Structure 1
Amino acid sequence: MRTGRASGFARPCFPPGARSHRARQPPVTPGRVQSTQPPPAAPAAPAAPATAPAAPAASAESTIGQAVASASPSASPAAAAATFTQPTVACAAGGGTVLSGGDCSDAQAVFDSTNMYRSWHQAPPLTWSVTLAAAAQSYALQLASQKCALIHSGAGPENLMSTLRYPKPDASCNVAVNAWYQEVNYYNFSAPQPFVDNWPKGIGHFTALVWNAATKFGCGMARADVPMNVPGGVAGCKVVVCRYGDVANVASNMEFLKNVKPRV
């Protein structure tokens, strides 16, 4: 099957168990996350994370899980939550926090791996925000209704991943977290200008994930049927949305130096 075409899918004919993804970018090297994104804005003068200008959105295609991912810059996270399907409820490690608000079947794994990756980079653990998860879930449903399109909401720091496959994808979300983290392989922690030198590499998902000043997050997931030339005639797409509060990916060399730290 051909991939890498700039307009839509490759020919949707493949055997059971095969996977496909939106062909928005050139073919990628197996195991590597590549990025196509607009030129970065000029670095902002150092400022408080809540008021500094945000970095431009990044989109990335990952061969991990055969998915397309996209990261958005910092802004005020959306507080309103629309109607959503109540997920399977899990509790955060240590008890107390209920990981509700989104439909990820593996919310506990998402919570654990996110904070594991953050600990590797000297960042404090995030708390689970039911409000952010519900807003992420509502937006995931909206994107799923558009065949799992990758369109940022503009509601705040936000990572997206879209998957198209046959058989239909499951309801897990942790594959997205793991794919976003793989961008660490292309981040130069010794760069003299951390933002200017690294942003063009498409590392925005990783930096949002480990951003030191972030305090909370929540994730949602939605799926949709996609007619394709496969046995049974129907494949499926899945979109994962994670939102981070209250700030990430501030377009400043100083902010990247303070908030994206090397692995210990």
Structure 2
Amino acid sequence: MSGLATPARRFRLAGWSDPRPIALVLVIAAFCAVGVAEATGGGPTMPFGAIALRLMSELLLPLAGLGVALGLAAPIEAGAGLLAMAVGAGAGLVWRHDFLELVARLPNAASHAFLAGPIAGLGVGLLLLMPASLRRVLLVPVAALTGAMLLVVVKLLDPSLRDPHVPWLAGLGALALLLALANALRRVRHPVRFTAARILGSWVLAVAFLYGGASVATRGRAAIPSAPTRLAPPPDATLFPEFGHAPVP
């Protein structure tokens, strides 16, 4: 009997004790529900592709990096990271105005989504560059930070007129990206995955520094009016000289 696998053991061996494939299946099911809603006319007012391109451009690299970090983590750590991301999104919804007021003191922050992308990229890049022991500790706070910055970007760059479907679609798109990477990476057992994660982390960190630094350092110049090239012609030189001076009595 000991050599036979119990149903619970078969369930674990199939990988379903890991929250990452379960979450990916749920996200795919949610996308199917969105497709059905769009087909019946009850979906969002904008196509999902336009929403994804608009909202995920600021956080594409941080989300990809977080997905890689979730793929390197143990199942229980990955589940805690996903939960922390949801909690961070809720915190971003509550305190986003305080965050915007704080970051607005930096130059050009308002014109660059209040630096939400560089802030998330800084956390994710450092997370991927850390050794495994520190990565386990930092995964939860970095996931919460990324969730909060995602919510800030969604609220700032919403291309619709406050469509209630947009935050959910943005969240599903972000989860689909990072869960696809996490589930793909967890299947890789070769040690090269850790080297690839550090390379990606260096890219995410470099882009965060370059984009954030360039946004803050670039200052607009006041427009100085140019001097006139020549004086205006006298009234008699115009086509209607009688309008250029007072009439003769």
Q: TM-score, with normalisation over the residues of structure 2?
A: 0.30
Looking at secondary structure, tell me which structure has more helix per residue.
2
RCO (CA 8 Å, sep 6+): is it higher in 1 or 2?
2
Q: TM-score, with normalisation over the residues of structure 1?
A: 0.29
Structure whose CA Rg is larger: 2
